[in-house]
Copies of this chain bind each other. A is one copy, B any other.
């Protein structure tokens, strides 16, 4: 966490990002319960896989939102204050999934 130490009195996430993410995550919880129900009802595997894929896409939506906030706030502050550690942090975040 490149710039966490210097920002303890600042919010990392903008209030509207927080509100929107909380709503999205509540919907995702409903979707996950839906997948569980489909599995218990013995639905066709492909339908279950499709539904899990929908959850993944919804999660991606939250990631994207948090990522943009991260770029606009944390990364921007770190770059403007010439924090050299931000690049390793960013690269780790960006290539984590691969």
Chain A interfacial positions (CB closer than 8 Å to B): 1, 4, 11-13, 18, 21-22, 25-26, 28-29, 32-33, 35-36, 39-40, 42-50, 52-53, 55-56, 59-60, 62-64, 66-76, 79-80, 87, 89-91, 93-98
Contacts and interface: CB of A to CB of B under 8 A. Distances in A.
B80 A42 contact: no
A56 B98 CA distance: 11
Contact of A80 (B29, B56, B79): B79
B94 A67 contact: yes
Contact of A71 (B68, B69, B87): B87
Contacts of A67: 45, 49, 91, 94-95
A25 B67 CA distance: 25
A84 to B, nearest CB: 9
Contacts of A56: 56, 59, 97
